[in-house]
Amino acid sequence: MYTIKTEASFDSAHFLKGYQGKCSNLHGHRWRVVVEVQSDKLKEDEQNRGMVFDFGDLKSLLKDMCDNLDHSFIYEKGTLKEKTTEALMEEDFRLIPVAFRPTAENFSKYFYEEIKKKGYDVRRVEVYETPNNCASYEE
Ligand SMILES: [Zn+2]
């Protein structure tokens, strides 16, 4: 099995509703996302011969996904009061509501599934919320 691996990062704020500890407060991370895709054979067309996938294509897909989340406040739907989101939007802050608790574990599954939807055979996605703390998802 051949694999290629690329990474990108984004900065965002989040908090964990219902968590007892520091992460219940609004704070930020530089999220580092490492994606590994696989193939049991290499491409044979002239452009991509000898490659699993074009690194550039995977890299730009991942970069676009990270850029969309960059410098935003990511929160789980239903965890902020309506008046809070209204007030933040009035300030023109960039809010990104997601359907999951915004943990590194859930982000790793989110990236895994989104990249898989683009036709990649994803082996594993790792998401670092600090240089020392990493969660990953694979099937
Ligand atoms: Zn955090």
**Which tokens belong to 98?**
């997601």
CA of 52 to the centre of ligand 1 (A): 34
Number of domains composing the chain: 1
Average pLDDT, the chain: 96
Judge whether 89 and 72 are in contact, CB under 8 Å: no
**Which tokens belong to 121?**
């055979």
CA of 105 to the centre of ligand 1 (A): 11
pLDDT-above-90 percentage for the chain: 95
At 79 the pLDDT is 97
At 28 the pLDDT is 96
Specify the CATH number for the domain of residue 58. 3.30.479.10
Strands (E), the chain: 2-14, 27-39, 72-76, 95-98, 122-130, 133-137
Q: What's the Cα-to-Cα distance from 6 to each of 3, 15, 20, 57, 63, rounded to whole Å?
A: 10, 27, 34, 11, 10
At 45 the pLDDT is 93
Q: Which domain holds residue 39?
A: 2-137
CA of 103 to the centre of ligand 1 (A): 7
CA of 74 to the centre of ligand 1 (A): 11
Q: pLDDT per residue over 70-120, tens digit each?
A: 999 999 999 999 999 999 999 999 999 999 999 999 999 999 999 999 999
Q: Which of 71, 86, 113, 138 is catalytic?
A: 71
- How far apart are alpha carbons 102 and 75 in whole angstroms? 6
**Which tokens belong to 34?**
């490492």
Stretch 119-128: mean pLDDT:
97
Cross-strand partners of 2 = 39
At 132 the pLDDT is 95
Known catalytic membership, residue 129: yes
**Which tokens belong to 28?**
């930020």
Q: Which of 36, 76, 126, 129 is catalytic?
A: 129
Q: Which of 7, 23, 114, 134 is catalytic?
A: 23
In the chain, what are the helix, strand and coil shares in percent, each to the nearest 5? 30, 35, 35
At 5 the pLDDT is 96
Backbone φ and ψ of 14, nearest 5° = -160, 175
**Would you place residue 32 in the very low, low, confident or very high pLDDT band (cuts 50, 70, 90)?**
very high
CA of 119 to the centre of ligand 1 (A): 30
At 117 the pLDDT is 97
At 38 the pLDDT is 96
